Each structure stands twice: as structure tokens, then as C-alpha cells.
């Protein structure tokens, strides 16, 4: 009887392992594609008056700032500085959202990585591991 229970348990364990490993392989193959898409991601935003254009990458890094020659007519450096800052911030916020959306497409639902990108909460990265370990500690 004990031998049969062991075989059944081993079969169940093997099936669970195969399932988890299959999920891992699928996730891993999607990460290469995600990395390439993130490397190519560019978001461009223009100021309300069209005088400033900012382009940023997936991490919000500034790639380019273009100024329309009309910005020099005002000769108000402080206003131009604010306009550039606001435009870059808008582009960065849009890039952050685009990055989160790309990661969400590639990660399993409820992934700590997606939650971290949404909230900036480092605890989200380990939430699932904490839950699993907490269950083990509670059951021991």
C-alpha cells in the first residue's frame, strides 16, 4: 500500500513539475522578445504649443529634445525651462505606462514584476514568495 501511495505522490509531483517547468519555458522565451521590444521603445511628447518635443526610451531616459525656433522669440529662459521639464515628464510618464503594458503582456497575471512597475512597491516583487513561505511556516 505504501509503495502505491509513493508512486501516486511521485506521479502528482512530476505532473506539477512538468506544468511549472512548461510555464517557465514559456515565460523565458517571451523575455527575449520583451527585452528587444523594450530596447526599441521610444515615446515622443510635444508641448501644448508645439515648441518643445521630447523623446524618451523605455526607462524614461531622455533620447532627444527638439526646440522649435519660435522658442527663441520669447527670450524667457525660465518659461522655456518649465516647458522642457513638463514635456520630458509627460514623455517619461507615457514611456512608463508603455513599459508596464509590454511587461504585463509577457508576465503571468498577478506577477509581482507588473505590480512593482505599477506601484513602485518593492514588496510586490517578493509577494508570491512571501505567501508561499508563509504558508510553509504556518503548516510546519
Phi, psi of 75 (to 5 degrees): 55, 30
Q: Which of 36-40, 60-64, 131-135, 136-140 has the lowest mean pLDDT?
A: 136-140
Quick: pLDDT tens for 37-77: 999 999 999 999 999 999 999 989 999 999 999 988 888 99
Quick: pLDDT tens for 17-28: 887 777 777 767
CB 112 within 8 A of CB 124: yes
- Grid coordinates given for 76: 524667457
* Domains, the chain: 36-106 (3.30.1310.10), 109-140 (no CATH)
Task: Kindly report the pTM of this predicted structure.
Answer: 0.66
Amino acid at each position: 500500500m505504501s509503495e502505491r501511495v509513493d508512486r501516486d505522490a511521485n506521479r502528482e509531483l512530476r505532473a506539477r513539475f512538468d506544468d511549472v517547468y512548461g510555464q517557465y519555458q514559456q515565460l523565458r522565451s517571451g523575455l527575449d522578445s520583451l527585452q528587444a521590444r523594450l530596447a526599441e521603445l521610444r515615446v515622443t511628447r510635444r508641448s501644448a504649443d508645439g515648441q518643445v518635443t521630447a523623446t524618451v526610451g523605455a526607462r524614461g531616459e531622455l533620447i532627444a529634445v527638439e526646440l522649435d525656433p519660435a522658442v527663441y522669440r520669447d527670450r524667457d529662459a525660465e518659461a522655456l525651462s518649465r516647458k522642457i521639464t513638463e514635456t520630458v515628464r509627460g514623455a517619461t510618464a507615457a514611456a512608463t505606462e508603455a513599459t508596464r503594458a509590454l511587461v504585463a503582456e509577457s508576465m503571468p497575471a498577478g506577477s509581482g514584476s507588473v505590480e512593482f512597475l505599477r506601484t513602485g512597491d518593492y514588496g510586490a516583487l517578493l509577494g508570491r514568495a512571501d505567501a508561499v513561505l508563509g504558508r510553509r511556516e504556518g503548516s510546519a
